Amino acid sequence: SLPNNVTIIEVGPRDGLQNEKKEVSTKNKLAFIHALQAAGIEEMEITSFVSPKWVPQMADANEIVKEVHKQGRQIVLTPNSKGVERALSAGANSVAVFVGVSNSFNLKNINKTTTQSMQDLKPVIAELKQQGIFVRACISTAFYCPYEGKIDSKDTLALCKEFANWGVDELSVADTIGMANPQESYELFSLLNREIPQVLMNAHFHDTRKMGLANIYAALLAGVTRFDTSAGGLGGCPFAPGATGNVATEDVVNMLHNMRVNTGIDLNKLCEAVSIIAPHVSRPIDTGMFRLYELN
């Protein structure tokens, strides 16, 4: 059966914009973030403290953290201890770390093997937890890797368990290239929820093959009540060739509300937020609910 409430973690300002070719100004990013907050988004990845040489679009992370309205939970993504240092000195109180189950993907994305990343992250997470910071661990290529193909769910489970043992608050388990199907979504999330009941479990689907909504429905049936989504369906990882954006927040919210699952989000205001960022991104926004909003 379906839950009464679902939490949406909006990742548009981070996953949505990190790969955007046009330079989006800090002012426009903040307008987007604040419109999302006004629509009722309570948890959001607002930026990332990564190398500006690797990801130029996120070079203004410091200003974003300083200027954003402190409302709900604002999460920043960090790849290493330098990123965490920058995040904390900007005043962030929720941090996401990220690592790929696939070694080949992790090398492309962070320039380290998965094992090296985990060795580096262990003391970083211990320090963050000691300081009372909310820690989220993002697990990339949990289903498929653009370089290695199908990933064994035992490997995904092992990595998730390791983070859980280190005391992270939340796991965000990602279909990085949008290749999973609903059966795989149901099976992996059933396994993870059964084996790791002590952490918040999020599903993060990219919508490359338009299976995002179906995968969310399957994950809901497997007991997941937290989903990472991107307003306007923006985004994609620069180091995952061919992958498109996350499943669109407005389409997910519409599906959930139609099934009488609450999100606390105002769909019309959410589409207003999409209309604020739409002129500043290079790809046309083509989500079901945004198209209907523009017709009215």
Active site residues: 237
Which CB, 7 or 106, lies closer to ligand HMG?
106
Q: Which residues pair with 174 in a beta bridge?
A: 204
- How far, in Å, CA of 94 to CA of 64, rounded? 14
Count of residues interacting with ligand HMG (CB under 6 A): 25
- How far, in Å, CA of 142 to CA of 6, rounded? 22
Which CB, 172 or 263, lies closer to ligand HMG?
172
Determine, following the binding rule CB under 5 A, whether residue 45 of this chain makes contact with Mg ion. Answer: no
- How far, in Å, CA of 83 to CA of 275, rounded? 31
How would DSSP label each residue in 219-248?
Answer: HHHTT--EEEEBGGG----TTSTT---BPB
Q: Which region, judged by CB under 5 A, interacts with Mg ion, from 13-21, 96-104, 187-195, 267-275?
A: 13-21
How would DSSP label each residue in 48-76?
Answer: E---TTT-GGGTTHHHHHHHS---SEEEE
Nearest approach, Cβ of 147 to ligand HMG (angstroms)?
13
DSSP H or E run through 137:
strand 134-140
Nearest approach, Cβ of 266 to ligand HMG (angstroms)?
25
Determine, following the binding rule CB under 6 A, whether residue 37 of this chain makes contact with ligand HMG. Answer: no
Question: 18, 66, 12: which is closest to 35 by C-alpha?
Answer: 12
Determine, following the binding rule CB under 5 A, whether residue 15 of this chain makes contact with Mg ion. Answer: yes
Count of residues interacting with Mg ion (CB under 5 A): 1
Which CB, 175 or 267, lies closer to ligand HMG?
175
Determine, following the binding rule CB under 6 A, whether residue 15 of this chain makes contact with ligand HMG. Answer: yes
Out of 30, 37, 49, 227, point to the residue binding ligand HMG (CB under 6 A).
49
Binding string, residues 16-35; x marks residues near ligand HMG by CB under 6 A: --x-----------------
- How far, in Å, CA of 105 to CA of 114, rounded? 9
Q: Which region, judged by CB under 6 A, interacts with ligand HMG, from 75-83, 119-127, 185-193, 262-270?
A: 75-83
185 binds, among Mg ion, ligand HMG, none (CB under 5 to 8 A by kind): none
Which CB, 15 or 43, lies closer to Mg ion?
15
Determine, following the binding rule CB under 6 A, whether residue 109 of this chain makes contact with ligand HMG. Answer: yes
Return the axis-axis angle of helices 249-258 and 288-295, rounded to nearest 10°.
90
Residues 6+ apart with CB under 8 A from 116: none
Out of 50, 201, 203, 220, point to the residue binding ligand HMG (CB under 6 A).
50
274, 290 in Cβ contact below 8 A?
yes
16, 230 in Cβ contact below 8 A?
yes
Out of 82, 150, 194, 210, point to the residue binding ligand HMG (CB under 6 A).
82
- How far, in Å, CA of 258 to CA of 262, rounded? 9
Which CB, 54 or 293, lies closer to ligand HMG?
54
Residues contributing to the site for Mg ion (CB under 5 A): 15
Residues contributing to the site for ligand HMG (CB under 6 A): 15, 18, 48-51, 54-55, 79-80, 82-83, 86, 98, 109-111, 138, 140, 174, 176, 204, 206, 237, 239
